Amino acid sequence: MRIILLGAPGSGKGTQGDLMAKRYGFPRISTGDLLRQAVKMRTPLGRKAEAIMKEGLLVNDEIVEELVRERIADPGCRKGYILDGFPRTVAQAEALKEIDGKRPEIVIGVEVPSEVLMERLSRRRVCPSCQAIYNLIVQPPKDQGQCDVCQSKLVQRSDDEPDVIRERLKVYCEQTEKLKDYYLRKRSYRPVDGRGTIEEIFRRIVHILDEALGKDEMRRVET
- Catalytic residues, by residue number, are 13, 88, 124, 157, 168
Phi-psi map region of 19: left, alpha, beta (phi>0 left; psi -120 to 50 alpha): alpha
Report the distance separating Cα 83 and Cα 92, nearest Å: 12
Q: Does 109 bind ligand AMP (CB under 6 A)?
A: no
Exactly one of 58, 96, 127, 212 binds ligand AMP (CB under 6 A); that residue is: 58
Q: Decide: is 88 part of the binding site for ligand AMP (CB under 6 A).
A: yes
Contacts of 128 (CB under 8 A, 6+ apart): 40, 152, 153, 155
Among 12, 17, 32, 80, binds ligand AMP (CB under 6 A): 32
Is residue 140 within 8 A of residue 134, CB to CB? The reply is yes
Instruction: Tell me if 110 sits within 8 A of 204, measured CB to CB.
Output: no
Inter-residue long-range contacts of 207-210, CB under 8 Å, 24+ positions, other chains counted: 208/106, 208/108, 209/3, 209/20, 209/24, 209/106, 209/108
Q: 192 to each of 16, 50, 59, 82, 108, how far by Cα in Å?
A: 11, 32, 27, 16, 7
Cα 19 from Cα 74, distance rounded (Å): 21
Indicate whether 85 belongs to the interface with ligand AMP (CB under 6 A). yes
Out of 11, 15, 16, 31, the only residue in the binding site for ligand AMP (CB under 6 A) is 31
In this chain, which stretch among 48-56, 113-121, 145-153, 186-194 interacts with ligand AMP, using CB under 6 A?
A: 48-56
Residues 3-22 that bind ligand AMP (CB under 6 A): 9
The residue within the footprint of ligand AMP, chosen from 2, 120, 168, 190 (CB under 6 A), is 168
Neighbours of 43 (CB within 10 A): 12
From candidates 6, 8, 38, 53, binder to ligand AMP by CB under 6 A: 53
Interaction between residue 134 and ligand AMP (CB under 6 A): no
* Single-letter amino acid code for the residue at 173: C
Which residue, judged by CB position, is nearest to ligand AMP in the bound state? 32
Q: Which CB atom, from 9 or from 141, has the smaller least distance to ligand AMP?
A: 9
Q: Using the rule CB under 6 A, give the single segment among 80-88, 98-106, 131-139, 209-217 that binds ligand AMP.
A: 80-88
90 lies in the site for ligand AMP, by CB under 6 A: no
Contact residues toward ligand AMP (CB under 6 A) are: 9, 31-32, 35, 52-53, 56-59, 64, 85-86, 88, 92, 159, 168
